[in-house]
Amino acid sequence: MFGMIAELAKGMGITLKHFFQPPVTTQYPEVKRPVRNRFKGRHELKRYDNGLERCIGCSLCAAACPADAIFVEAAENTDDERYSPGERFARVYEINMLRCIFCGYCEDACPTQAIVLEHNYELSFYDRQSAIYTKDMLIVDVPVNGRPTPQVVEPGVFTKAIPMMENPE
Amino acid sequence: MSDLITLTIDGVEVSVAKGTRIADAAKRIGNDIPVFCHHPKLEPVGMCRMCLVEVGLPVRDRATGALLTNADGSPQLNFGRGLQTACTIQVSEGMVVRTATEPVLEARKSVIEFLLTSHPLDCPICDKGGECPLQNLTMAHGVGQSRMHFGDKLKLDKHVPLGDLIYLDRERCIQCARCIRFQEEVVDDPVIRFHNRGRSLEIVTLSDPGFDSVWSGNTTDICPVGALTTADFRFGARPWELTPVASICPHCPVGCNTTMSTRREAMANGRTVIKRIMPRQNEAVNEIWICDKGRFVHHFADHANRLTQPLIRQNGKLVETSWGEALDFVAGKLQIDAHMVAGLAGARLSNEDLFAFQRLFRDGLKSQNIDLAKRRLAGGDVAAQVGLSSGSNLKDLGKGDAILVVASDLHDEAPVWWLRVKQAAERGATLVVANARATRLDAFAAFSLHYEAGQALATVNQLVSMAKVETDTAVTNDIVSAAEALFKAENLVIFYGSEGLAYDETDALAKLLGNLLLIENGHKHAGRVNNGLVPVWPHNNTQGAWDMGVHPAYAPGYKPVKEAGLDATAVYAAVANGDLKALYIAGADPVGDGLMPDRGKLDFLVVQELFLTDTAVLADVVLPAQSWAEREGTFTTGERRVQRYYPAIPVVGQSRPDWQILAQIGERVGLGKPAFAASLTFKDVARIVPQYKGMDYRTLAQVEKQWPDVGGEDLYYGGNAYENRSGLGQQWPVTAEKSAVAHFDVPTVKTGRKDGLQMMWTAVLYAPGTLVDCSDVIAPRKAQPVAALHGTDAARLAVADGDWVEVMVNGTAVQVTVRVDDRAPVGLVLVAGVPWWPGTAVADLKKIVAAALAVN
Amino acid sequence: MANLLLRHRDIPDLHKIDVYRKHGGYEALHKAITEMTPQGVIDVVRSSGLRGRGGAGFPTGVKWSFIPKGPGEKYVVINTDESETGTFKDRELSEKNPHQVIEGAIIAAYSIGAKTIYNYFRGEFMDAGYAMEEAIREAYAAGFLGKNILGSDFSCDFYCHYGAGAYICGEETALINSLQGELGQPWSKPPFPAVEGLYRRPTVVNNTETLANVPLILVNGADWYMSLGTDKSPGVKIVCMSGHVEKPGNYEVELGVTYRELLAMAGGMRDGKKFKALLPSGGSGPVITEKALDAPLTYEGLTPHGSVMGSASVIVMDETTDMVWAALKMLHFFKHESCGKCTPCREGTFWMEKLLHRIYEGHGTPQDVQTLESVANQIGGRTLCALGDFAINPVLSTIKHFPEEYRAKVQGSANGQVKAAARTAVA
């Protein structure tokens, strides 16, 4: 009985301490609170240094997604119109942010590390339609030394969809 | 059953037919021996080495031949020296097979490791990924890691077009030769082969154009990896994203069971579209194969040109209107003197549509003027009496049986029948082919009777009269020998078509052949299983149209009407001379087909169609109908199997099912409320058509276990064709099965043929037309207008190969290319790729000089 | 003893039919056709103990007796696709003593009731082939081939066919496929050629040298032949000596001589170097070392030493030979010649060559040698034909007999692992 009262007093003590501390309010959106490194925010579709898209349109992210938020439609690359290495690229890539639960399974499933959940958490929409993020919205800017896609490339250079597989040792 | 052999596989005893291979025997008891190169429908080769097992044979005493036993009484077994391939070794009595021992599992592991050393492992982008035998067997038997350095891997071409339709990925190929063997053994189109050797072994095509076979798509189904992909589906979707919907192929009277794989597409504005068509197993119809037309010609269903709204003519122009207005208007216009109104239907419509069509005319408008728009082949009434008996399966025909094919090129008219007839001939059935020209079936025929144009009936008559008596005349020619073979046959199946024949001639032909089946030879053929007549109908549901009474002289169920109405030929004449005021055309394009030049003196023309066809542009009202992919219904095959198909894609625009449109017009002319669903219309069919008695959508959807297993967990065994879970259909019994059938009176036919060089229309699989034109992928294979003629005729007419000539088809001049081909008979020009015309016509070839061609 | 098969070495111009006949040629055929029944011929050949000289050593008479009796087309096919490394006996026979082979083949055809003989030549054997074609013309002219041979009702035709250069076509079923104009790939037996061979008819496939023995047996009798050689391996054999010997070439010997005697016959080691190892059967048999040199040249003689006589093409290697290099050379040959039909051989030889090449180049690791051995064992006994087993023999046997050379290669580059990793990155 006595122990219970002691515990209660201890808890109330903490409450009392905070009662006298000044309030902490971050002035969002003027001030943005930094996020942790492993924070999972809005997805980005990455590119290689030369500007080619990492995404090969394999739909494994869509398969892994527990919320059925991702929709992918693939098409075939040609050397005159190349989006990604290998034969296949994502012609359509959409994520429904209303459905997404930011679990990161899509990241795990991706064989080319094309989809990464980054640190942007500012996701708000006025209607359902604008909650669907298309490929244009998700893909990152072309790197400094890269070229935008589709690219015209030399035949026979980008033949592998999954460019380099390390020797498993 | 003396030819059963009992063996033990992993302790389980199984009895199988003599000659069965161990892998197949094991499959029967659910023991899945992994295989890559083996396929139950191909000859075994034993080259992938995946199926290695331990095989023990009972040891016999050399002197006495007695079985030796161990001390404990069990038979002594000799397990040979090593592992053996389960796919090549035939079972033998007392054999003991072990499939789960350490060496066997180790061998499987090592074969998988070997296969993966040169496999690109690009499953994420592979069309087969998710339904891939190699993937599945790697998960089951492979090790997780490769010991091969990734840098040591061979890099090969990944985008090799074998033809317009099939692509090869050389890195993925595991050299199992299933595709090569399928093309060679099953369909006799050996157009792809191995080239080079060792690790450089690759598949190449030997034909020009590449992979020139109408069966090429099937190789992608049986390919155990993603090496072969179709141009149509390439990167189309991942298999697990697809929704399978059972369907029936709408192209020819075989009625192949198919599965449409559908998926919602952003590129189609969120509509669900057909991504691919795959075979669905029905061992009595198409086994696990379909032709490339069935596989690739489906794009018309969701084509942008589809009609989406009813159209009505106002001030000379067709403008969009509402259904209510259009239907009211049509109903009003049709209620005139019953003799002044007629209806023509296409044989692509479902049984429900055709039933509603005849009901509207017979019961609603009291008119008997209904017929199929294209009168090409008669004999539905004959087939109803002596047609192929219910329960028949062409797969059961073999030694001692005979097949007669008259006036038809099955390869292009009904490819899967061609395949099954060819296989029956290879199993030993006597094949007799009678035609005015050489066809591909001749290569398998015991007797090829090539008659002169116009002599079809005379030839068949001779054949039938010869078959009546045991002849021992001194004259022995092919006809006599063929007649004898037919007479002696245990089972007899007859296919007949309309090549080079006028409608009346096909009627006489059907009756002649019917009489052949009625000849007594200890047993009558008609009415017995695996015997009977099969008309090679021009469309997929011509059989259903006959059954439903879309015929001026027959009500549903072949009940003769008191006073026959106008047939299609008479209708076209009446349109021209003003004897008809109103015409209703459903699912047919007589103007485009050259059967009706224009709307003549019609007051009112209504067309119910998918597209704005040549006929539809002339109409007063155009009613948009739904394609077979958007709704459910039934088709009846030439073997009279009623089969059900299911809705796969959402409705295009405001289009409605044909039966519903017709019933809604019927409601307006006093036929009562329309049925709510196709299934209810079919209930009416089953009530009124005696042959369909007892059928309903539930019975048509019944399935039973089929052999070999396909499409299930064991993709590696039978391939990727779909398992049949949606109905095997029901074959309705012919009269001869239940009661005696009297001989048919064969009418004498006056052909009115004129002398001179004749020309004959021949069927081609990819004939140009609305449906084929909508599939871009098949465009390079589309038949061009061609006139093939013998070298002698070409010399006489002074035309050369590649020349352009003008021929008259149904009164219209058509330009065709000349092909000098000595396979064409002398005196007969074979014209393909142009609209059909009945019988033969005098060939009046006008050579077009280059200058005139340039102007055109 | 005088040469029995290589008689042309003693008799000049033996390839001409009159010279051949002068020295007893075609007497055996005459005897067979006029005095013996087909079954009688088979019995004599069977009791002579003659075994296949192509390498497998299957009793010839037994093989002939498997051909079903009765009517219907049957074929005799002569296997002159001599593609084994270091083998050149059939070439000499066909070129210099063709009539003895032709005579043997006609006797074989008579005994099994075949009307057609095909001789499948290795594509490169133009000279030998033309010599034999000339001999065939002579035989036709003399009435030993063609219709009604020697007045009997036995008729026989003889055709030569040239391969397109594939080792695998020495395998009988691949040879038959190639002869039919198909890809030279073996098929999985059964069916055996004796039941379903050329054009799906019963077929006997015999090695050239085997058939050259047949006339001798018929003339001199089975007992005489049995008296030559050893009990289990009677008769004579041509041995092809090559490699580091003073006098390479074909040597006809009675079976049972030791390998040491063979070495001496070939003039001993070249330049007086020390013997290191020899391949007793071209590339396809495991190597043997000094220890096995006293083994007899018989079908069973090398069994205790883990090797085989095979086609008796002995490749001798002296002390300067790098055994890893030798294994790589052989393996490269088999990888190049693998037909690609079955998985273990197609993929395994490709992989093994990559591994062995890396080891030879000094980029390998001890792990690579282990993998090499393990891959070889994954091929062994699991392939469709024997080529897979042949391919692993030189590798496994050199690893067994000369492990220190492999060790030196992988330790020679202590940083093998690093180099290997670097290679991967570059590729």
**Is B740 within the bounds of a domain?**
no
- Distance from the A73 Cα atom to the nearest Cα atom in chain C, whole angstroms: 32
- Virtual CA dihedral for B235, B240, B241, B243, nearest 10 degrees? 110
The total domain count for chain B is 5
% of chain A surpassing 70 pLDDT: 96
Chain A residue numbers with beta carbons less than 8 Å from the beta carbon of B241 are 59, 62-63
**Cβ atoms A153, A79 nearer than 8 A:** yes
**Is C222 within the bounds of a domain?**
yes
Question: Residue C243's pLDDT band (boundaries 50, 70, 90)?
Answer: very high
- Determine contact: B46 vs chain C, CB below 8 A: yes
Whether residues B238 and A59 touch (CB distance < 8 A) is answered with: yes
- What is the CA angle C336-C342-C343, rounded to 5? 90
Nearest residue in A to C422, CA atom:
A167
A102 DSSP β-pair partners: none
Give yes or no: residues C197 and C143 share one domain.
Answer: yes
**Is A166 within the bounds of a domain?**
no
- Determine contact: A162 vs chain B, CB below 8 A: yes
Chain A residue numbers with beta carbons less than 8 Å from the beta carbon of C421 are 167
Whether residues C423 and B151 touch (CB distance < 8 A) is answered with: yes
CA distances from C323 to C305, C396, C409 (A): 18, 11, 11
**Is C108 within the bounds of a domain?**
yes
Residue C37 burial (CB count, 10 A) = 11
Nearest residue in B to C369, CA atom:
B147
Give yes or no: residues C214 and C287 share one domain.
Answer: no
Maximal C-alpha separation, chain C:
78
End position of a domain, from candidates C292, C318, C344: C318
Maximal C-alpha separation, chain A:
82
Residue B764 burial (CB count, 10 A) = 20
- Distance from the C339 Cα atom to the nearest Cα atom in chain A, whole angstroms: 28
The total domain count for chain A is 1
Q: Which among B120, B159, B240 has CB closest to A63?
A: B240
Quote the CA–CA distance of B464 and B322 in Å, as a whole number: 58
Whether residues C350 and B150 touch (CB distance < 8 A) is answered with: no
CATH number assigned to the domain comprising residue C291:
3.10.20.600
Quote the CA–CA distance of B556 and B546 in Å, as a whole number: 8
Give yes or no: residues B395 and B501 share one domain.
Answer: yes
DSSP state string for A77-141: -BTTBBSSSSSEEEEEEEEETTT-----HHHHH-TTS-EEE-S------SSSGGGEE-HHHHBPP
Quote the CA–CA distance of B728 and B521 in Å, as a whole number: 33
Quote the CA–CA distance of C49 and B579 in Å, as a whole number: 98
Which parts of chain B have pLDDT scores under 50? Answer: 1, 854-856
Q: Which among A56, A76, A92 has CB closest to B124?
A: A56
Chains that touch B (3 or more CB pairs under 8 A): A, C
Q: Tell me the pLDDT tens digit for each residue of C340-398.
A: 999 999 999 999 999 999 999 999 999 999 999 999 999 999 999 999 999 999 999 99
**Is A140 within the bounds of a domain?**
yes
**Cβ atoms B597, B608 nearer than 8 A:** no
CB pairs under 8 A between A and B: 60
**Is A20 within the bounds of a domain?**
no
pLDDT at B551 (0 to 100): 96
Contacts of B319 (CB under 8 A, 6+ apart): B311, B312, B313
**Cβ atoms C211, C105 nearer than 8 A:** yes
**Is C1 within the bounds of a domain?**
no
Res C422 pLDDT > 50: no
Quote the CA–CA distance of B583 and B606 in Å, as a whole number: 6
Contacts of B750 (CB under 8 A, 6+ apart): none
Chain C residue numbers with beta carbons less than 8 Å from the beta carbon of B154 are 350
Chain C residue numbers with beta carbons less than 8 Å from the beta carbon of A160 are none
End position of a domain, from candidates C178, C203, C227: C227
Whether residues B125 and A63 touch (CB distance < 8 A) is answered with: no
Give yes or no: residues B171 and B241 share one domain.
Answer: yes
**Is A83 within the bounds of a domain?**
yes
Q: Tell me the pLDDT tens digit for each residue of C118-173.
A: 999 999 999 999 999 999 999 999 999 999 999 999 999 999 999 998 999 999 99
Q: Which among C183, C347, C427 has CB closest to B151?
A: C427
Whether residues A162 and B124 touch (CB distance < 8 A) is answered with: yes
B229 DSSP β-pair partners: B167
**DSSP class of residue C351?**
H
Question: Quick one: B19 exposed, middle or buried, by C-beta within 10 A (0-12, 13-18, 19+)?
Answer: exposed
Q: Tell me the pLDDT tens digit for each residue of B380-402.
A: 999 999 999 999 999 999 999 99
Give yes or no: residues C267 and C412 share one domain.
Answer: no
Which residue range forms the structural domain that includes residue A58?
36-155
Q: What is the mean predicted confidence (pLDDT) over C212-237?
A: 94
Give yes or no: residues C248 and C223 share one domain.
Answer: no
CATH number assigned to the domain comprising residue A64:
3.30.70.3270
**Cβ atoms C64, C111 nearer than 8 A:** yes
- pTM for the structure as a whole: 0.93
Q: Tell me the pLDDT tens digit for each residue of C258-290.
A: 999 999 999 999 999 999 999 999 999 999 999
Establish how many alpha carbons lie within 13 A of residue B663's alpha carbon, considering only the half-sphere containing its beta carbon. 21
Chains that touch C (3 or more CB pairs under 8 A): A, B
Mutate to test the interface with B, among A94, A162, A164, A169 (most CBs of B within 10 A): A162
pLDDT at B749 (0 to 100): 87
**Is A85 within the bounds of a domain?**
yes
Which residue range forms the structural domain that includes residue C288?
236-318
Quote the CA–CA distance of B30 and B33 in Å, as a whole number: 9
**Is B108 within the bounds of a domain?**
no
Nearest residue in B to C424, CA atom:
B151
Residue ranges with strand state E in C98-235:
116-121, 157-162, 203-207
Nearest residue in B to A162, CA atom:
B122
B/e letters for B638-664, b = 16+ CB within 10 Å, e = fewer, are bbbbbbbbbbbbeebeebbbbbbbbbb
Chains that touch A (3 or more CB pairs under 8 A): B, C
Which residue range forms the structural domain that includes residue B793?
758-855
Mutate to test the interface with B, among C341, C372, C419 (most CBs of B within 10 A): C341
**Is B475 within the bounds of a domain?**
yes
Least confident of A30-44, C96-110, C411-425: C411-425
Question: Residue C427's pLDDT band (boundaries 50, 70, 90)?
Answer: very low
**Is C364 within the bounds of a domain?**
yes
CATH number assigned to the domain comprising residue C400:
1.20.1440.230
Give yes or no: residues B449 and B513 share one domain.
Answer: yes
Residue B270, token pair as written in the block: 């969120």
**Cβ atoms C397, C286 nearer than 8 A:** yes
CATH number assigned to the domain comprising residue B414:
3.40.228.10
**Is B114 within the bounds of a domain?**
no
- Distance from the A48 Cα atom to the nearest Cα atom in chain B, whole angstroms: 18
Give yes or no: residues C264 and C195 share one domain.
Answer: no
Contacts of B433 (CB under 8 A, 6+ apart): B404, B405, B439, B441, B442, B445, B447, B448, B449
- Determine contact: A78 vs chain B, CB below 8 A: no
Residue B508, token pair as written in the block: 């006489």
End position of a domain, from candidates B535, B567, B582: B535
Give yes or no: residues C263 and C412 share one domain.
Answer: no
Quote the CA–CA distance of C98 and C128 in Å, as a whole number: 9
Alpha helices in C113-171 (DSSP H): 126-141
The total domain count for chain C is 3
pLDDT at B850 (0 to 100): 56
Res A86 pLDDT > 50: yes
Whether residues C420 and B149 touch (CB distance < 8 A) is answered with: yes
**Is B36 within the bounds of a domain?**
yes
Give yes or no: residues C299 and C331 share one domain.
Answer: no
pLDDT at B490 (0 to 100): 93
Chain C residue numbers with beta carbons less than 8 Å from the beta carbon of B88 are 188, 190
% of chain C surpassing 70 pLDDT: 96
Give yes or no: residues B91 and B160 share one domain.
Answer: no
Q: Is B728 left (phi over 0), alpha (psi -120 to 50) or beta?
A: alpha
Give yes or no: residues C68 and C157 share one domain.
Answer: yes
- Determine contact: B155 vs chain C, CB below 8 A: no
Quote the CA–CA distance of C149 and B547 in Å, as a whole number: 71
pLDDT at B314 (0 to 100): 95
**Cβ atoms C297, C307 nearer than 8 A:** no
- Distance from the C425 Cα atom to the nearest Cα atom in chain A, whole angstroms: 8
- Determine contact: C422 vs chain A, CB below 8 A: no
- Determine contact: A44 vs chain B, CB below 8 A: no
